[in-house]
Amino acid sequence: MFEEDYKRRFVYGCDFGTSDYKYGPISLGERPRVVENRGYFPEKSMVAEVLGVSRDVVVGADVTYFLGSGQDLSSRLVYPMRDGIIGVGDDRSWRVIRELLLKSLGEFKPSGFGFKGFYVVASLSAVAPLYMYERFFSYLGEMAEEGLVHSSTLIPQPLAVAIAHKQTSCIVVESGHGNTQVAPISRAPIRGAVVALNRGGSEANTMTAEILKDTGYSDLAREERVVRQVKERLGLLPIDLDKAISFARGNKEAVRGVYHIEGTRIKIDLGDHSWARFLIGEIVFNPNHEIFQSYFKRGMPRPSDIRFGDTIFYGMMDMAETIISSVERCPVELQPLLYGQVILSGGNFCWAPPPSLRTIACDSQTKLQFMLKEKGIENARVVLSPEPQFTVWRGCIVYGYALPQNYEWSWERMEGWLHHKH
C-alpha cells in the first residue's frame, strides 16, 4: 500500500510533441510546464571554456541565449520530433531527447528524504517504432541510476487523449506541428487502422511565411518564431474558403490583419492581402483547393507522402477523408461508435474566430463537422479537448495514477510499469 501511495504522489508526465515538450509531475494540477522540443549544438568556444559555460547541447529556455545571427541555425538547431519518429541512427536528435528528459526531471526532483524517483509516463506518436520504445526505456533506466526515475511506462499519444476524456470507443485526431495522427480507439489503439498525415502546424507556418513575403515582410518570413506568432494571431479557419475569400475581398476593413510584435517597433499590416488569412487555417484541413496551386507553382513546398518503415504519412489527403479512411479500416459494427466521438487534440486545432467574423470563420470542430457532412457522414460528433495542447500530458498523468504499481511492463501488450534497478 505504501508503494501505491508513493506512486500516486510522484507520477510524472512527458509529452514529446513535434513542436513543444510538455512535462511535469501530478502536483502541477491542470497544466504542465512547456518548452520547445528542440536543441541547439553551439560552436566550441575558448571564451565559453574559460567562463565554464561550454555545453555540447542546449535545451529548454536556454536555447534563446545561444542563438546567433541565424546563418548557422539550420545546421545547429535540431527539432527531433518533426515527424513523430526519430531515425535509429539520428544521434543528434536522440541527444536532444535525452537532455530534455534529464533536465526536465531534474527541475522537479524533491530535496527531501525518502524520494526514490518519479513514476514516469512518456507519450510517443502512435506510429513510433519499437526501437524508439527501447531507446526511451534505456534513457529512463540511466536516469534511475541518478535517482530521478523509479519506474516508467510509454503510451501512444492518441490513447493518452482517450484516457483524458475517459472514452473507451472513439477516434482521436492528434495534430501537432509536424504531423497529424488519426487513431481509432476500442479500449486500445487499433494500430492497423491508424492513418498519419505529413501535415500539421508547420504547413500553416509555411503558408504564413508566403503571405508575409507577398506583403513585403520577407525578412520576418525567415524567422520561425515570428511566423508562428503571426499564424496564431492572424490566421483564420474558414467554414467555406470560397465564401470567406469573397466576403474578405468585399469587406477589406472587416478582415484586415494587423499585428504588433510585443517588445519591438515592428507592426505587421497585411492590408489588401488580408483575405489570405483564411488560407493559413485551410491548408491544414484541405490543401487540395485550387487556390493553393499557384503557391505550389511559385515554390512553396507541396505536402508530400513520405514513408517511415511500414508507415506512410500522406501529404495531400484532407482531414475529413483521413478520418473516414481510418474508420473504414475498422469493423463495420464499430464504425458508428467511432463517428459518435471524434476527439480533436493538439495545438494545431487551436483556431478561434473573432466574434465579428463568426459567419465565415470557425473553430476546428465546426470545420470538421462541416467537412464530414459534405462527404456523407451526417451523425458525426466532433469535440475539441479543453486546452487541446495539454490533453496528452493530462492523459499521461491519469494513466500513471490509475495504473497499479505492481502491473509489470509487457512487450506483448505494450503496457505496464518497467521497474528500474536502483
Q: What is the pLDDT of residues 346-366, one digit of tens each?
A: 888 999 999 999 999 999 999
What residue ranges do the domains of the chain occupy?
Answer: 2-164+389-419, 201-302
The closest of 129, 57, 131 to 93, measured between CA atoms, is: 57
Number of H helices, E strands in the chain: 17, 18
Summarised one tens digit per residue, pLDDT across range 276-322 is 999 999 999 999 999 999 999 999 999 999 887 777 889 999 999 99
Per-residue pLDDT band at 48 (split at 50, 70, 90): very low
112-123 average pLDDT score:
91
Residue 270: other Cβ atoms inside 10 A? 22
| Whole-number pLDDT of residue 50 | 42
Residue 1 has pLDDT above 80, yes or no: no
Output 262 or 207, whichever has higher pLDDT. 207
Summarised one tens digit per residue, pLDDT across range 52-107 is 445 788 888 877 777 654 456 667 888 888 778 898 999 999 999 999 999 999 99
383-391 average pLDDT score:
92
Q: What whole-number distance in Å separates Cα of residue 204 and Cα of residue 282? A: 8
Which residues contact residue 3 at a Cβ distance below 8 angstroms, ignoring those fewer than 6 apart? 405, 406
Equal fold, 2-164+389-419 vs 201-302: yes
Summarised one tens digit per residue, pLDDT across range 244-268 is 999 999 999 999 999 999 888 999 9
| Whole-number pLDDT of residue 188 | 83
Q: What whole-number distance in Å separates Cα of residue 108 and Cα of residue 105? A: 6
Give the architecture (CATH level 2) of 201-302. 2-Layer Sandwich (3.30)
| Whole-number pLDDT of residue 32 | 96
CA distances from 406 to 115, 134, 171, 270, 402 (A): 19, 21, 30, 58, 12
Per-residue pLDDT band at 393 (split at 50, 70, 90): very high
| Whole-number pLDDT of residue 81 | 84
Task: Say which DSSP state 195 is in.
Answer: E
| Whole-number pLDDT of residue 418 | 95
Tell if the pTM clears 0.75, that is, is over it.
Answer: yes
- Concatenate the DSSP letters of all residues of 90-126 into one string: -HHHHHHHHHHHHHHHHHT---STT---EEEEEEE-T
The most confident of 108-122, 133-147, 176-190, by mean pLDDT: 133-147
Q: In DSSP terms, which residues pair with 22 in a beta bridge?
A: 15, 34
| Whole-number pLDDT of residue 63 | 79
CA distances from 421 to 104, 133, 308 (A): 21, 18, 33
CATH 3.30.420.40 fits 2-164+389-419, yes or no: yes
Percentage of residues in the chain having pLDDT higher than 90: 71
Asked if 305 and 136 count as a contact pair (C-beta separation under 8 A), the reply is: no
The pair phi, psi for residue 259, each rounded to 5°, is -145, 125
Q: What whole-number distance in Å separates Cα of residue 397 and Cα of residue 12? A: 7
Burial category of 354 from C-beta neighbours within 10 Å (exposed 0-12, middle 13-18, buried 19 and up) = exposed
| Whole-number pLDDT of residue 82 | 74
